[in-house]
Every structure is written in C-alpha cells, then in structure tokens.
Amino acid sequence: MKKYICEDAQTLGAQAAAETAKLLNLAIASNGEARLLVSTGASQFTLFDALVGLPVAWDKVEMFHLDEYIGMDETHPASFVRYLKERFTGRVSLKAAHFLGSADAAAVDRVTFEIRKTPVDVGLIGIGENAHIAFNDPPADFHDTAAYKTVSLDEACRRQQLREGWFAVLDDVPKTALTMTVHQIMLCKKIISAVPYGVKAEAVFRTLNAPDITETIPATMLRRHADWSLYLDRESAALL
C-alpha cells in the first residue's frame, strides 16, 4: 500500500487523477488500450474534475460501472449512470462505457461478459462511511466469485446517501442495489482510492488499523491488494 496525505480535497483529487492518467497511458502504450473501473459519490468529485482535463488517449479507454441502485431511472438525480455521464463520460470520448443501466439481469450479463475479457488496469474504489467498498456493506461477502451481485443496503449506507444530498428523505433511498463483488474488485491490476473529508476519518482509521482483514470492515480487504494507492486529505486522515 502507498498512502498519500494531501492538504485538501482538491489537491487529493488532482494527485489521484494524475496517477490514474499515468497508468492509463502506460497501459495504452503497452497494450493499445486501457480498462478503467470507476466509483461515484461526492468523494469522487475532485478526482473526476481533474481527470477529464489530463492528456489521455480516451478513445482507447474502456470504462466499467461499479454499482447502481436496483430499478433506478437514469433521470433521477441519484442515478450513478447520470452521475458518470455528467461528470466523466460526457466530457471525454471513450472507446466504450459499460453501464449497468437500471441494474437488471440483462445488464449484469452484458457487463460481466465485457469485464471478464481481460483484467481491468485501474480501479477507482472509494471507501464509504461504513467502510464499504462499492455497495458491499458490512458484513461483506469476500468469497462470492460472481462479477456482480444484488445486495441489501444497511441503514448507515443509506444515511450517507441522504447526507450527500442525493435524496430528500431516508425513505426515498433505495434498499437494494447491484454491486461489483469484492472478489471482482480485487482482480484490478491497480486500485486507487480517493477518500477525502472528515466524515470518512473513522472508516479510514478502522480500515488501516483493524488487526485483521475482516468482512465487518470491508475496506480492509484492500490491504491485501498487491498495488493499492490510498489518497487522503488532512480531514480524512485526522485520526491516523
């Protein structure tokens, strides 16, 4: 693991984006293409703002969608498809963007087929306030070898979505979602986690200081990855 503590969220986003762009360009130079897995949420705003302005041959990059609420319409403000189109895919010209759509079975089959063709070069994997990765809330299943699975969201996760402003009231936050499994996430050649803001400080502390890799703190599994970069700001690193 490589850990970077940046002054603020903007600096964090710029540095995480710079490493992402460098790795994508190296993959393109080596293989003629690159494959990128992306997270969403408020914590990724500064990363995407920086990444879209960097010199990458985007027409040689395939993007994969990490998770989505079951049955979520793309027009909803909380739709991750909408998020990605507004903040990333609508601002660069990708070779392909593999969206989960409304997270139905056909989407699962289609994206699973594509992601298993060859390993993902870079996975941008955030850490939730409850230490989830993707929508793998605690206790996560570290052994499911599917690419994607349907999960029930715990209240802590749903309250995070409410606090970030995606929904008006808690009852509006969906209770089920489609998520990439922990197993599939760990198959990325490189994982970069951009984790700013004080609301993530406890999750960061627990992730790095838990004595064991544990399904009750899903992000601890990232410690087992051979090439993981963790970007923090002063606020998210406050308890370290």
What's the domain range around 118?
Answer: 2-40+51-150+178-196+207-232
Residue with tokens 């087929």, as numbered in its chain: 113
Please tell me the distance from the alpha carbon of residue 1 to that of residue 38, in angstroms, as a whole number: 19
pTM score: 0.96
**Number of separate domains in the chain:** 1
C-alpha dihedral sign at 218, 136, 193, 7: negative
CATH number at residue 24: 3.40.50.1360
Can you give the pLDDT at residue 235? 98
pLDDT given for residue 22 in this prediction: 98
In degrees and rounded to multiples of 5, residue 142 shows phi and psi of -85, -5
Q: For the chain of 240 residues, list the mean pLDDT of each consecutive stretch of 10.
A: 98 98 98 97 96 98 96 92 97 97 86 97 97 97 96 94 94 94 98 98 98 98 98 98
Specify the pLDDT at position 107.
Answer: 87
Residue 200 token pair: 């993530």
What is the spatial distance between Cα 73 and Cα 101, in angstroms, rounded to a whole number? 8
* 122 in any annotated domain: yes
Quick one: three-class SS letters along 170-212? HHHCCCEEEEECHHHHCCCCEEEEEECCHHHHHHHHHHHHCCC
Spacing of C-alpha 144 from chain mean position: 18
Specify the pLDDT at position 189: 98
> Distances in Å between the alpha carbon of 89 and those of 64, 82, 86, 99, 228?
11, 10, 7, 11, 24
Domain-located, residue 166: no
Is 161 contained in some domain? no
Q: Are the CB atoms for 170 and 100 separated by under 8 Å?
A: no
| Other beta carbons less than 10 A from residue 90's beta carbon | 12
In a domain, 10, yes or no: yes
Chain centroid to CA 72? 18
